Structure 1
Amino acid sequence: MPGRLWQSLRARFEPAPIADPLWRRALVACPLARRLDPERQLQLRRLAGMFLARKQFHALAGAVLDDYWRLLIAMQACLPALQQGSASLRGWRDVLIYPGEFKVRRSHHDDHTGVVTEGDEILIGEAWEHGPLVLSLADVQLDLEQPWDGYNVVVHEMAHKLDMLDGPPDGVPPLVDIPRRRWIQQFQLAYDRLVAAGPGHSPIDHYASESASEYFAVVSELHYSQPAVLRETEPAVAELLHAFYGPSPADGEEPCGGCRR
């Protein structure tokens, strides 16, 4: 028993390296990781290995997962954590994977009437405070096939996870070397502009106007998949996200050689 306990602890803190063939195969399929410079690719590989060792994947409703798909999910989940380090992955354990969209039962309390209503909401991703990361495998695959369309469900939900490291989601993750007051001020101004613009009048998806937390998650997707759009629309927010996440892989160049499709 002591030997097994030691092996379990060692695997948790010193995970086995990802096998070269599996890593190369996943790198070909993940343009966001493929465009990272070699140093950040190595960092991502180590972080993804830690993610796989510490998180438990659960395939639900007939979803089929193998080592390849677990790695592809881990790679994208760890991209937003590259700048922040492994400590930013703390506080939760489970990754729930559905084959496609999934239903969530919601309760809504009307403050004026006191009436509580329930209904189903169709989602492609969800992140709970201290709870699981929930993803639609079909949408993960779509984001891999269309990496520069402004959307990435894994990045979106991981932004929520980072946001919730210091409490309920409010659009302000724990910050290092970024003035908190500046972050709050610039994000609030940008959020207010989006709300005032109304649907269809900004390149930023109007879903971001749901809350400060959703705004942070949506512009995080843009940072990784359409940073030029974000820089043109909200340059101050783009600058802050560059400082928080590091350079966007969308601004990188395709590597030469065997990593091309």
Structure 2
Amino acid sequence: MLSKFTQWLDTRRRDRALRTHAISDALWRKTLDGLPFLSHLDAADLERLRELTSLFLAQKEFSTAHDLELTDEMTVAIAAQASLPVLNLSLDLYRGWVGVIVYPGEFVIRKTVEDEAGIVHEVEHDASGEAWEGGPVILSWEDAQMTDGADAYNVVIHEFAHKIDMLTGEADGHPPLFRRWHAPLDAQAWSDVFDHAYDQFCAKVDAVPERRWARFERDSLIDPYASDHPSEFFAVCSEALFVKPKAFEAEYPELYRLLARYYRQDPAKVGALEAR
């Protein structure tokens, strides 16, 4: 009896959230027009994404900095991009926090870091996005609008991939695996493909002569920044999976299949989810 009541209550909450945060047809069309990489989704998937976007808006709280005006166009565009990675998973992967903070453009991050000698340094750098463990996602609105698919860049997908990676602790490039979604994929199978691909990519980046760095940075599908840490490699590759799926699959077929299996989506439509 309790289970049936809980299901009824969940359905009531879902229906109320969908009504309260309903997205008009005009706004949804405008959102899709601004996100051309969603073109691989069929009509049924787009409708599920629309519902998930509304549910995301019901669960998260948006705020802005530096007097940036918060608009429906802004929140729906960000929510739709954030919902895409969990379209065939669950918004539960974003549980435990509520805040999305939007800056007009890049913002300064200040951190305390300890070097190999144990000396603590105060550092700061410009950023287009930041995901805090247990805290908010911070985004540059200027960067969040860079969605024309000219390259594999997508700051929203990147930061929300970090949030998934952080679900069971510090981000390390090994996101949580759930039997109901990911079996028979397990931690060892993930490591066999992901860690090998990361090591190869780092070696590739390290081998680039300084005189050719600018060209490599411009031509590389995967941003060289991904070599900084396995968590960054996971987030950058997640961007590529959704924004440049065919190019990603062509250049990194095993890695593409691994991420396609994780997100349970095959945007390049190469049969990556079929049993092998």
TM range (shorter): 0.7 to 0.9
Determine helix, strand or coil for the equivalent of 1:238.
helix
1:138 aligns to 2:142 (yes or no) = yes
Identify the range of structure 1 (37-46 vs 21-30) with the bigger mean alpha-carbon deviation.
21-30
1:25 maps to amino acid? K
Match of 1:212 among 211, 230, 234: 230
Match of 1:21 among 12, 23, 26: 26
Q: Percent identity?
A: 40
Aligned positions of 1:17-96 closer than 5 A: 17-96=22-101
- 1:180 is aligned to 187
Match of 2:125 among 111, 121, 137: 121
1:82 maps to amino acid? L
Determine helix, strand or coil for the equivalent of 2:111.
strand
Q: Which has the higher contact order (CA 8 A, sep 6+)?
A: 1
How far residue 99 of structure 1 moved from its aligned partner, in angstroms, is 0.1
- 2:104 is aligned to 99
2:255 maps to amino acid? V
**1:218-252: CA deviation from partner (whole Å, max 9, x where unpaired):** 11111012223322332111001111224454669
Determine helix, strand or coil for the equivalent of 2:222.
coil
TM-score w.r.t. length of structure 2: 0.81
Does the C-alpha gap of structure 1 residues 170 and 229 become closer, same or farther in structure 2, counting only changes over 3 Å? same
**1:139-168: CA deviation from partner (whole Å, max 9, x where unpaired):** 0112x2x22411100010011011111111
- 1:258 is aligned to none
- 2:273 is aligned to none
- 1:257 is aligned to none
Aligned positions of 1:209-248 closer than 5 A: 209-248=227-266
Give the whole-Å Cα distance in 1 for the aligned partners of 2:107 and 2:156.
15
Aligned length: 242
In structure 2, runs of 5+ residues without a counterpart are: 1-8, 271-276
- Over the aligned positions, Cα root-mean-square deviation in angstroms equals 2.2
In structure 1, runs of 5+ residues without a counterpart are: 1-5, 253-261
**1:106-138: CA deviation from partner (whole Å, max 9, x where unpaired):** 1121231x3212121100001111110110000
1:116 maps to amino acid? V
- 1:3 is aligned to none
Does the C-alpha gap of structure 1 residues 102 and 12 become closer, same or farther in structure 2, counting only changes over 3 Å? farther
Give the whole-Å Cα distance in 1 for the aligned partners of 2:204 and 2:39.
36
Native 8 Å contact 1:148 1:250 kept in 2 = no
Give the whole-Å Cα distance in 1 for the aligned partners of 2:106 and 2:123.
16
TM-score w.r.t. length of structure 1: 0.85
**1:63-111: CA deviation from partner (whole Å, max 9, x where unpaired):** 2221111100000000011121222221110000000000011112123
Determine helix, strand or coil for the equivalent of 2:167.
helix
Give the whole-Å Cα distance in 2 for the aligned partners of 1:246 and 1:64.
35
Native 8 Å contact 2:241 2:248 kept in 1 = yes
